[in-house]
Structure formats: C-alpha cells, structure tokens
Structure 1
Amino acid sequence: MMSPECHTEPGAGFKRPKVSLCIPAFQAGPFLRDTLDSVLAQDFPDLEIVVVDNNSTDETALILDRITDLRVRVVRNQTTLTAEENHNLAVKLSRGEFVKVISADDTLMSNCVAAQAAVLENNPDVTVVASRTDFIDDAGALLFPARGLRGILGRQTGQRVIRQIVRSAKNPVGAPVSVMFRRSDFDRCGGFRGPNLFTLDMDLWTRLLRFGHFYGMPETLAAYRIRGGSLTALTSARSQLEQQDRFTRRLIDDPRWEIPYVDQLVGKLNRYDVLLKRALLFKLSSVREARRRQRTG
C-alpha cells in the first residue's frame, strides 16, 4: 500500500481538536458537496474535517480543490485502497478526542456534532453514542424519517445492544453517520475489520462496546442516503445474508454477551423479512432516480 499524499504531522504548537469528522471518499462527486456543506455548517466550533480521496477518477478531486475552509484537511491516496483500509486511514489521520466517520453521500443536521460530543463528554463510561437517522434517496428527498435505535434508546449496556443486534437480525445502531465514538477506544479495539463489507460497521460497534456503555439519542441528527449504486446495494442478497449469519454466529459464540436462546430464535425468524425490506428500500430509491432522469431527459 502506497503512502497517502498531503499528510503532514502537527507542529509543536498544535491544539488537538475535540472532534474529528472523517470522510472516506471514492467516486463521490455526485454527493460530496452536500456532505461537505453539512459538516461545515456544524454549530460546534472545535472540530477538524479529514477527507481521504481514495484515488477517485470522477470530479471528487475538483470539488475538494475548491474547499478553502482551514478546518478541512484533504488526503489523496496514490492507489485505491479497500473500503476497510480507507476507513481506517481516515480515522488514523484524525487528531480529535472524539471521532465521527461520515460516508461521502450522507449528511448531518447542524447540531449533530455538538449534541453527540456532549453525551461523550458528560458520560465517560459511554463508548458509543448514536442518533436516529432519516433515510433519503439519491436526490436527497425523504424516504423514511427517524430510523434506527429500536429497543436501544437511552443508556444501555453493551450486552443489551448486542442482544438487540442478534434479535433484530440487522444493525439497530445505524451507519457511521449516526455514530460518534472515542479515538482511544477505536485504537484499542483495532478499528474497522474486514473482510465482510456488509457487517463492517456493526463489527466495529460491537468491539467498541466491550469497553463501555451505549447511548441512543431520540433526536434525528443525520441523514443516510439509500442509493442504487452504493456498495451495500451492489452486494447480493445472498451475500448479505451469509455475512449477517456469520457475524451473528460470532456474537452468539462469544461468552461475554450471553445471548439467550429466545433472542437467537427471534433473529432467525426475522432474518429473511429484514433482507426483503432492505432490498425493497434500495429498489424504491432506484425507481425514484430513474423517474427523475426520465423527466429531466
């Protein structure tokens, strides 16, 4: 793996920011500007924004070249890394105490960083904080409001969250855009870990929860874009199911979580229903986008 360009170490007088917003970007041109606008509009002043362009060949580089805000640090990979490697690199290059990873097509509400940083600041035993998330389509139109955190709102133990993952047969915590965690805990648990892309986020959340509690915020503070060309959408239903099953099996086999048999049984019953709903959601977004192109074409 070749070293990224544009990376400089902080000088002796460098002041560590409280929060780092990390954006791994690859072929992100159609949505990157919206993502950047949302992170630059945060009402929390003590932050940095680290964008890692994963050797994109579209307009990603041009969009980043136009950014003049001094809070933004752009890193360009000389070769294309895997999604796991690029996510880890984005966090590795961050300097904040608290970290939020944001896909280059998702967006934040203006108070998101301030609200989540306050939870971590006031609760030193909380390792993962997450908010509810709006689901939007390619054009940014609302698909479904306030999704996520079913059964895990408020302060929860790690075991309670793990049980809900198994029971629901999905990711109740949410995508990275909905989550904030401590950089020190990320380093301790080893960061994002492959090779299964579909469970990459959940795997990190479960390992972070070995070190402390979870807090589910009732507020909707982010938007997750459901789009037909995303890596999740391009992963086959069979592959998604296999990855989810392997991941769930690891949680059940881990004695620290003590997953009751009833949760395992409910999860088995839910798995196909969840997969069908997920496929229909991405299909709905694709149909909307196709209709828009027909109208504008």
Structure 2
Amino acid sequence: MAGPRASVVVPVYQAERHVEETLRSVLAQTYADLEVVVLDNACTDATPHILARYADDPRLRVVRNATVLPLAENWNAAVSLATGDLVKVVCADDLVHPDIVARQVAAFEADPGLALVSCRRHIVSEDTRVIASDRGLMGLTGRHSGRETVRRVVRNGGNPIGEPGCVMFRRVDFDSTGGFDASLVFPMDIDMWVRLLKFGDFHGLPDSLAAFRAGTGSISAGVTAAMYADQRRLTDRLGSDPFWQVDRTSRLLGRAGNVSSQLRHRALFLASARANRRFGAGRELDWSL
C-alpha cells in the first residue's frame, strides 16, 4: 500500500514548554494525505507524557531514541522515519499555518522541476506574541532557478530561505545529499537547502505560513562568534563553488551581508528578550491571510 504524499517530522528534546502548541499546529493541517512523525530524543522531562495525549490520532507516529543523539544525527534520524514523498521538518517550539502543507504540496505538484518550496514567517516570543511580521525570502518569492537562488543566498550572507518549519523538500533528494551536516550547527539548515537546490529549482510562497520562536532556549539564541564564522565560511564556499557560478559582486556583497546578518540576528533576539520579559507584549499570532 502506498504511503502518504507528505510527512511532517518533529524532532523533540526536552520540549515540554512548547511541544504541545507545536504539535497542535501540525495536526491542524487541512491537507489530508499526511503523516506526522515525532522523534523523542530520549527526553526526561514531561515531553513523553504530552505526546501520549495525542496517541489516538491515526496520522501521528511517535518514536523514541534509546539514547540522546547529537542534533544533526537526530534530525537525520527523524527524516529517515518519514514515508512521504515530500517532507518538512518542524522544530519543537515553532508553529505552522493550517494550510502550509497543502500550499507547499500544491506548488510541487504544479511544477515537477522544483526541489525546494519555502514561505515567509512571523517571529514570535516565548508566549507566542508576534514581535516581527512577514520576514524572509527577500527577493526570493516566486520561482527561481537553483543558481539564482544560491547567488541571492551568497549576497544575503545569512539564511534568506528560512528555518526548517518554512521549507518542504523531496525525500529522494534529501537522501541523495547524505543528510544534515553534523560539522555545522548555526548554518546547518541553509547548507542543506543549498545542497537540495542541486536537484532542482526554488519556489517562495509570499505569505507567512510559519512562525519561528525566538526563545531563550532555542539553538539560535545561543549563537557564538564561532557559529557566525561557520556561516561566513559557508558563504565563502558557496561563492567560490564553480557549480553555482556566483559573480564577484555577489561574493563581495556576501561579506558585508554576513556582518549585517549577525546584526539582524542579535537585534532580533534582543527584541525577543525584551518581549519575553514583558509577558503579553506584541500582537497575538493571527493566521488569517
């Protein structure tokens, strides 16, 4: 019997604070031909008990690791559990619009040449108040060739495509890349998106169909100078890779873009820290389009 068309995988670790809200947003999808796979990375907090509340949902499958896996290994293991042709990874504190899977599957079905579909997103605080609206995909809405997309990534110096919750990809392409690169942390997602673009083109949906939580416990909140250096090295590597045919102007702009990306990231988390201290600051998340 054929599997589902699409899979949403949620790798979780010590996620008791937000995982229920995340899971509810994933299970609220309007797209019917869907499976949801949660990989419990040997959590010792209340996460397993929260997940157990949803055991009756036939779309949901929960798998538990015997021991804690490193980040990239855990994400790769989560994707390996998916049986759908199209996959998206949603971090255990982020949120997705009820129509995101339907919209992204429709984009793939309309254009067999696509390797990657993303969308814009809101930035939310710990208590799910919007602190920044409609972010991402600068110059990348609509259809773009893989090479054009990577040139824009280099110019940006950061991750204009978006976090995992924004993105959907083909499982067969992911398997061909060998998975997320464990030598990277901060740029691990944009490195994967670029490698997937060797298999096809990119489409950016103009609506904000995901919400990234800029919380104090997120990976991005603890970014260090060494992680920024990883991002800079990745940008330089992409710019010098002959496959992508990146022009000299884009490479030079990318150096400046690395600095501005760092400043934007720091400003975002400072704003988030202020919002988190003022519980209820910012507007409520509203998924109306």
Is the pair's TM-score, using the shorter chain for normalization, greater than 0.5? yes
Cα RMSD of the aligned pairs, angstroms, is 1.2
| Corresponding residue for residue 234 of structure 2 | 247
Residue of structure 2 aligned with 1:56, choices 26, 32, 43: 43
SS at structure 2 position matched to 1:29: coil
Instruction: Using the aligned pairs only, state the percent identity.
Output: 41
1:210 Cα offset (Å): 0.3
**Contact 2:71 2:182 survives alignment (8 Å):** no
Aligned residues: 279
Residues 1:180 and 2:168 aligned together: yes
1:55-87: per-residue Cα shift (whole Å, max 9, x none)? 111111110111121111001011110110111
- Normalising by structure 2, we get a TM-score of 0.94
Alignment of 1:147-226 (within 5 A): 147-226=135-214
Gaps in structure 2 of 5+ consecutive residues: 281-289
1:61-117: per-residue Cα shift (whole Å, max 9, x none)? 110111121111001011110110111011101100100100001111111110000
- Normalising by structure 1, we get a TM-score of 0.91
SS at structure 2 position matched to 1:30: coil
Residues 1:257 and 2:244 aligned together: yes
Residue of structure 1 aligned with 2:84, choices 96, 99, 110: 96
**Contact 2:131 2:275 survives alignment (8 Å):** no
Which aligned runs of 4 or more in structure 1 are off by greater than 6 angstroms? none
1:194 Cα offset (Å): 2.1
Distance 2:260 2:138 in 1: 16
1:274 Cα offset (Å): 1.7
Residue of structure 2 aligned with 1:65, choices 52, 71, 74: 52
**Contact 1:228 1:283 survives alignment (8 Å):** no
SS at structure 2 position matched to 1:274: helix
**Contact 1:19 1:47 survives alignment (8 Å):** yes
1:253 Cα offset (Å): 2.3
Distance 2:233 2:265 in 1: 18
Distance 1:253 1:21 in 2: 34
Gaps in structure 1 of 5+ consecutive residues: 1-13
Distance 1:42 1:164 in 2: 31
SS at structure 2 position matched to 1:27: coil
| Corresponding residue for residue 283 of structure 1 | 270
Residues 1:25 and 2:16 aligned together: no
Q: Pick which of 17-26 and 223-232 moved more.
A: 223-232
1:288 Cα offset (Å): 2.0
Distance 1:206 1:274 in 2: 18
**Contact 1:152 1:160 survives alignment (8 Å):** no
**Contact 2:185 2:227 survives alignment (8 Å):** no
| Corresponding residue for residue 8 of structure 1 | none
